[in-house]
Amino acid sequence: MEKAPLPILRQSAVLVPVYRDAAGELQLVLVRRGERGIHGGQLAFPGGKRDPEDASLLATALREAEEEVGLLAADVQILATLPELTTFTSGYHIAPFLGRIRRPAVWWCQQPEIAEVLEISLRTLADPATHAQEWWQLPGWPQPVLIDFYRVGQYQLWGASYRIIQPLVARLLAGEWAV
């Protein structure tokens, strides 16, 4: 019996932007995707598919951050290349990069791709009350799946973005990287 061919994964990259606010609190920057598209309405990190002209996946992450929210590459210091991961249903292989940023005076959103920019305290994500787990049945899923997520205001931070940030919260708060 022949094996089915493996799906071709689309290369992509994201920036995981962090900074200290005026009070010294660590903040994480997320975007809420516009309603269109495969990840419509979801919380995510600035990033996207690698373009042929991108010299590297880091270049992809930096280009996308500038296009999506106006964060200039000159305002990003890469602290770590994080473990790569693959989405379970949408066919993306994601290279995440942790970056300390100089927050722009004003965030802007590339419409209609980005609906809003969110700044979330890492202490909020570290609070056990923010973490949740529920059985979800999403369109195209053959059966319900137990999903771990953070409650971020009226939104849920789940999926690949959750899998990227969840192991970093305690490490960031413990000062593993100079932010």
How many domains would you assign to the chain?
1
Across 39-43, 75-79, 111-115, least confident range? 39-43
At residue 141, does pLDDT exceed 90? no
CA dist 94 and 84 (Å) reads: 6
Distance, CA of 18 to chain centre = 11
Closest CA to 97 of 108, 111, 86, 83: 83
| Radius of gyration, alpha carbons of the chain | 16
Whether 156 is covered by a domain: the verdict is: yes
pLDDT value at residue 177: 96
Burial class, 139, CB count within 10 angstroms (exposed 0-12 / middle 13-18 / buried 19+):
exposed
Whether 158 is covered by a domain: the verdict is: yes
Q: Please give the torsion angle defined by the CA atoms of residues 21, 41, 126 and 47, in that order, rounded to the nearest 10 degrees.
A: -60
Whether 113 is covered by a domain: the verdict is: yes
pTM for this model (two decimals): 0.91
Whether 3 is covered by a domain: the verdict is: no
Q: Where are the alpha helices (DSSP H) in the chain?
A: 57-69, 122-126, 159-165, 169-173
Phi, psi angles (nearest 5°) of residue 75: -100, 15
Burial class, 7, CB count within 10 angstroms (exposed 0-12 / middle 13-18 / buried 19+):
exposed
Whether 47 is covered by a domain: the verdict is: yes
- pLDDT, average across residues 18-43: 88
Which structural domain range is residue 128 located in?
A: 10-173
Residue found by looking up tokens 């606010």 in the block? 21
**Which long-range CB contacts under 8 A does 4-10 form with residues at least 24 apart?**
7/91, 8/91, 9/86, 9/91, 9/92, 9/93, 10/49, 10/50, 10/91, 10/92, 10/93
Whether 178 is covered by a domain: the verdict is: no
Whether 92 is covered by a domain: the verdict is: yes
Which tokens is 179 given?
A: 């932010």
Whether 139 is covered by a domain: the verdict is: yes
Which tokens is 71 given?
A: 């964060």
Give the bridge partners for 6, in sequence order. none
pLDDT value at residue 7: 60
Which DSSP symbol is given to 178? Answer: -
At residue 56, does pLDDT exceed 60? yes
CATH of the domain at 24: 3.90.79.10
Cβ-contact 26, 169 below 8 angstroms: no
At residue 5, does pLDDT exceed 60? no
